[in-house]
Amino acid sequence: MTNGSFILKIKKVFGAHEWADKTANCINGCKHDCRYCYSKEMAIRFKRKTPDTWKIEEVRNNQTEKNFSKKSGSFMFPSSHDIHPDHLKENIRFLRKLLSSGNHILIVTKPHLVCIKAICENFERKKNQILFRFTIGSADDAVLKFWEPGAPEYNERLESLKYAFTQGFETSISCEPMLDNHIENVINDTRDYVTDAIWIGKANFLLRRLKMNGYTDEESIKHAEQLIKWQSDIRIIKLYTAYKNDKKIKWKESIKKVVGIDLLTQRGLDI
């Protein structure tokens, strides 16, 4: 407040809310156990989990039993866990509740083929309410294994994308965070099977997150420092220049602010 008048602060939108105005989750913890995980960081900060217990998934029965009313906009599901084969049944039950009331769902996952097949089969008739977003930050399995030790390998993610696409579902890719300096490999391999967009984003607050998530060893820090160098402003501007006219590529807030694109002020626009 200055001169006795209020200054209205416009909130910039980032993270999950760039994509969807609401989030929905039915599990605490995640077997994928990604080193850079924001949800893990939050769960540890608020003492719901420890670095070791994060990968123990606990179903939130109060969520899987809940009924949802129809809401405007879309839900991102899940936003703080993933869809692992071990809890496929529970994830499907939860999805069914969300979809049966007519809601639109952005399903964001590091896809296991068995899970994508089950979702496609169960919700064939609801496909107009679903947009898949498969997270693939690198085409290199060694890189994926290091950063996302419990998540599927590259080929399984690609096969999942192709499966959903051939079944007539809407598909998109999240390369957030990019995990190496060859994201063009992911873009080239996936673009023909993407009906919507390929999102590109940086790894945010990487050193802070690694520390909270229990990765303070030399190897983790070395990998993180390398990744931070690969995502320097100069390199990001080069990447942006290469793809700025590509209609299939969209940029997350971490890149928009480097290259001078206005940040969103409204949730869920997915642009």
Residues that bind ligand SF4 (CB under 6 A): 30, 32-34, 37, 39-40, 80-82, 110, 148
CB 211, min distance to ligand SF4, A: 16
CB of 33 or CB of 90, closer to ligand SF4: 33
Task: Report which of 122, 83, 126 is spatially closest to residue 105, judged by C-alpha positions.
Answer: 126
Half-sphere exposure of residue 92: CA atoms within 13 angstroms, side-chain side = 16
Instruction: Provide the residue type at 70 as one letter.
Output: K
CB 133, min distance to ligand SF4, A: 12
What is each CA distance from 258 to 131, 163, 255, in whole angstroms?
28, 35, 5
- What does the DSSP 8-state code read for residue 77? E
The SS3 call for residue 163 is helix
- What does the DSSP 8-state code read for residue 72? S
CB of 34 or CB of 175, closer to ligand SF4: 34
- Listed in sequence order, the residues at least 6 apart from 117 whose beta carbon sits closer than 8 Å to its beta carbon are 163
Task: Report which of 256, 160, 207 is spatially closest to residue 41, judged by C-alpha positions.
Answer: 207
Query: Cis (ω within 30 of 0) for the bond into 111?
Result: no
CB 63, min distance to ligand SF4, A: 15
CB of 39 or CB of 190, closer to ligand SF4: 39
CB of 144 or CB of 183, closer to ligand SF4: 144
CB 150, min distance to ligand SF4, A: 7
CB of 26 or CB of 34, closer to ligand SF4: 34
Dist. CA 175–CA 63, nearest whole Å: 29
CB of 80 or CB of 91, closer to ligand SF4: 80
CB 6, min distance to ligand SF4, A: 38
Task: Report which of 99, 82, 180, 69 is spatially closest to residue 133, judged by C-alpha positions.
Answer: 82
CB of 33 or CB of 126, closer to ligand SF4: 33
Question: How would DSSP label each residue in 165-216?
Answer: HHTT-EEEEEE-S--SS-HHHHHHHHGGG-SS-EEE-PPPSHHHHHHHTT--
Dist. CA 152–CA 145, nearest whole Å: 9
Across-strand partners of 104?
A: 74
CB 157, min distance to ligand SF4, A: 12
CB 37, min distance to ligand SF4, A: 3
